[in-house]
Structure formats: C-alpha cells, structure tokens
Amino acid sequence: MASRLTKLPMVTLFHNPSSRISIEALRLLKKGANAKKYEIDLVQTKSFPPTHQQLANIVEFMGPTALEEILLPEAPKASTLTELQEILEKQPVLMRKPLIIDWNRAKAFVGDPPQKVKEFVKSIDVKRDK
C-alpha cells in the first residue's frame, strides 16, 4: 500500500505482468482511475506476497472464502491465516493474481474473470456519485 497521503481512495493491485487477465485488470483499473475516481498502488510481484498485516486485512475483507480464493488451485490448502501466510512466504507465486484491494471500502477480490473488475470500477462510480 502506498505510504503517501492522498485525497482519492487507494486501490492496490497485486499484479502479474505476464498474465493476460492481470494485464486486463490493470487496464480496467487505470480506465477508472483516469476518471479521477481513485489512485492505483501497483505491486508488480512474482516474488513477494502481501505483508502479514496486509494479508490479514485482505482475508478479513474477502470473508469466509478468502483462504480458498487467494491461493491457486494447485497450492496446498490453508485452513488458517497463519497457514496461508506460511504457504505464501515459501512460495509467493501460489497467490492468485490479479488481487485487488480497496482499502477505503474494506473490499478485496481476485479479478478473474475481468467482469469482476468492471463491476468493481462501476461500484466506485455509483458510490462516489451519490
């Protein structure tokens, strides 16, 4: 997450620049950001997972399905946040990307399929226009 102060909402994208779906998620997020709806904190990572605190927040934001959604299908199963953190510390590439976090609204989701990202961007429009 960016450390500078901003008046716009901050959205973090854990991104895999070699993934077609992640590239599409970034394109869709940039389109929304260009309309001055939010700022993007782009984390281009194949090697580093979210910090322990970020991961705890992401799991909380995603709710009861987070432990299954955050990891790739071929990853070992995690039944607790601690197990999830241990898996990602050993093999960060097992985290699904694009992983998108709206810190201001306490929402997180995997942006696959891209329709989820489109709906997310639209929800910011509706939220900020009211």
pLDDT digits (tens, 9 = 90+) for 53-110: 999 999 999 999 999 999 999 999 999 999 999 999 999 989 999 999 999 999 999 9
Domain membership flag for residue 22: no
Domain membership flag for residue 39: yes
What's the pLDDT at 25?
96
pLDDT digits (tens, 9 = 90+) for 13-35: 999 999 999 999 999 999 988 77
Please state the pTM of the whole predicted model: 0.85
Give the span between the Cα atoms of 89 and 97, in whole angstroms: 16
Count how many domains the chain has. 1
Domain membership flag for residue 13: no
Domain membership flag for residue 24: no
